[in-house]
Structure 1
C-alpha cells in the first residue's frame, strides 16, 4: 500500500461551539487525487487549513508523514495593488533557487511571463503561477483550494490535466476543493462529499448515485459526471445544472465501492 501522507482521525473544528468540521476521518496516500466537494459553509476550506496547520483542531488528530513537504495553492492571490511585483520576484519569495523557480514556471507553462507584472496576469495565468510556486518546493502533498477559480472552461480542463501529470511526475498526493462537478469527476480518483461531516465518499462514477449525495445536491447528476474529453464544451454547477450551454459527453464508467451515511442536512 502507498505511503500515507496525511491521516485525519476524528477531526473536529468548532467556531464559538458550532461544529464546522465534525468527526472527519480521512487518509491521503502518495499517488492519490482526492477532491472535496460540498455546499457553501460545508467546512471544506477549514478542513484543508487544518491539514496545513493554519487552523487548530478542536478535537481529533492530524497526522503528517515524517519530513512531509507541502505545496499549497490558495483560492486567490491577494497582493497589494500598489506593490510593484513581477513574476520573477514573486517566485523568489518562495525561497527556492532561481533555476528551480524557472523550471517550475516552464512546467506550468508560464515561463514566458517571467518579467510580467503579477497584477496584469489573467485568472488562468495566476493559478499556474501559484501552482509553479507550490511545485518549486517539490512537494509530497499538493493542497489546492479551488485551483480553477477564475479560469475559463478550456483552461480549467487543461489545468486539471496538468495536476494529474504533476501527480504522476512527483509521485505526490493531491487533495483539492472544487465546485465544478463535471470536470472534477474526470480529474480525481476519489470524491469526498463534505457537509461538516463526510456524507459519502467513493469513486466518481459511483458517488453520484449515493442517497447522501443526492440529498445534499438536490438530485442525481449521473448524466453530468461524464469522463472529460477535449470536445467537452459546457460545465455544471453544484446541482448538476448546465451553466454555459453545449451537449454532454457519454457517461463515464467507474468501479469499486463507496461509503455513505444517511444523516439529514438542513
Structure 2
C-alpha cells in the first residue's frame, strides 16, 4: 500500500464562534484523485488552505510526507489589467528553467500562446496556463480549486481528462474542489461530500444514492447522477473542437448517455 502524501486526522478549524471544518479525516496517496464537493460555505476552500499550509488548524493534525512538492491551481487568477504580462514571463515566475516551463505548456496544450498576453486568454486557456504553472514543479500532489471555473462544457470535459492523464504520467495525488458534479463523477476516484463535516464519502458510482448526498443536493440531482454514463469515442480540445482520438491536444473522449 502506498504511503499517504497527506493525511488529515480529526481536523477542525474555527473562526471565532463559527466552525468552518469539523473533525474531518482525509487521506490522499499517490495515484488518488479525490474530489471534495459540497454547498457554498461548506468549508471546502478552508480545507484546501489547511492542506496548503495557509490555514492553521484549531484542533486535529495534518500529516504531510517529507519533501512533498505541491502544485496548486487556484480558482481565480487576479491580475492588475494595466500590468503587461506575457505567458512566458508568467511561467518564469515559477523559478523553473525555460525548458521545463515550455514542456509544461506543451503538455497542457497552450505552448502556442507563449508570447500572448495573459489578459487576452480565454477561460479555458487561462486554466490550462495555471495547470502548466503547477505542472512545471513536477508535483507529488496537485491541488485544484474549481479547475474548470469559467470553462465551457466541452472544455471542462477536456480539462478533467487532462488531469487524469497527468495523474497517470506523474503518479501524483490529486485533490480537487468542484461544482461540476456530472463531469466530476466521471473524472474522479473518490468523492467527499463536505458540509463542515464529512456528510458522506465513497466511490462516484455509490455516492449519489447516499441519503446524506440526496439531502445535501436534492433528489433530482441524485437521480440525474445515477443515470449518467461516460463513454469514450471522441475528443474535444480546449476550444471545444472535436479532435482525433489519441491526440494530446488535451481532451476528453466522451459520449453522454
TM-score normalised by the chain length of structure 1 = 0.86
Which residue of structure 1 lines up, in the alignment, with residue 102 of structure 2?
102
Q: How many residues align?
A: 235
Which residue of structure 1 lines up, in the alignment, with residue 244 of structure 2?
none
Verify the 8 A CA contact 2:34 2:189 in the aligned structure 1. yes
Verify the 8 A CA contact 1:205 1:222 in the aligned structure 2. no
**CA shift digits 1:83-110 (9 cap, x unpaired):** 1100000000000000000000000000
- Over aligned residues, Cα RMSD in angstroms? 1.4
The question of 1:42 aligning with 2:42 is answered yes
Structure 1 CA distance for aligned equivalents of residues 99 and 233 of structure 2: 36
Structure 1 CA distance for aligned equivalents of residues 107 and 233 of structure 2: 24
Verify the 8 A CA contact 1:185 1:227 in the aligned structure 2. no
- Tell me the SS of whatever aligns to 1:182: helix
Q: CA deviation at 1:17?
A: 2.0
Which residue of structure 2 lines up, in the alignment, with residue 223 of structure 1?
224
Alignment of 1:109-188 (within 5 A): 109-188=109-188
Q: CA deviation at 1:230?
A: 5.6
Q: CA deviation at 1:219?
A: 1.2
Q: CA deviation at 1:2?
A: 1.6
Structure 2 CA distance for aligned equivalents of residues 47 and 229 of structure 1: 32
Structure 2 CA distance for aligned equivalents of residues 174 and 182 of structure 1: 18
Q: CA deviation at 1:148?
A: 0.2
> Alpha carbons of 1:103 and 1:59: their partners in 2 closer, same or farther (altered >3 Å)?
same
Structure 1 CA distance for aligned equivalents of residues 111 and 162 of structure 2: 15
Q: CA deviation at 1:231?
A: 7.8
The question of 1:211 aligning with 2:220 is answered no
Q: CA deviation at 1:223?
A: 3.2
Which residue of structure 1 lines up, in the alignment, with residue 59 of structure 2?
59
Verify the 8 A CA contact 1:124 1:155 in the aligned structure 2. yes
Which residue of structure 2 lines up, in the alignment, with residue 12 of structure 1?
12
**CA shift digits 1:158-212 (9 cap, x unpaired):** 0000000000000000000000110000000000000000000000010000011
The question of 1:21 aligning with 2:21 is answered yes
TM-score normalised by the chain length of structure 2 = 0.89
- Tell me the SS of whatever aligns to 1:90: helix
Gaps of 5+ in 2: 235-254
Verify the 8 A CA contact 1:11 1:60 in the aligned structure 2. yes
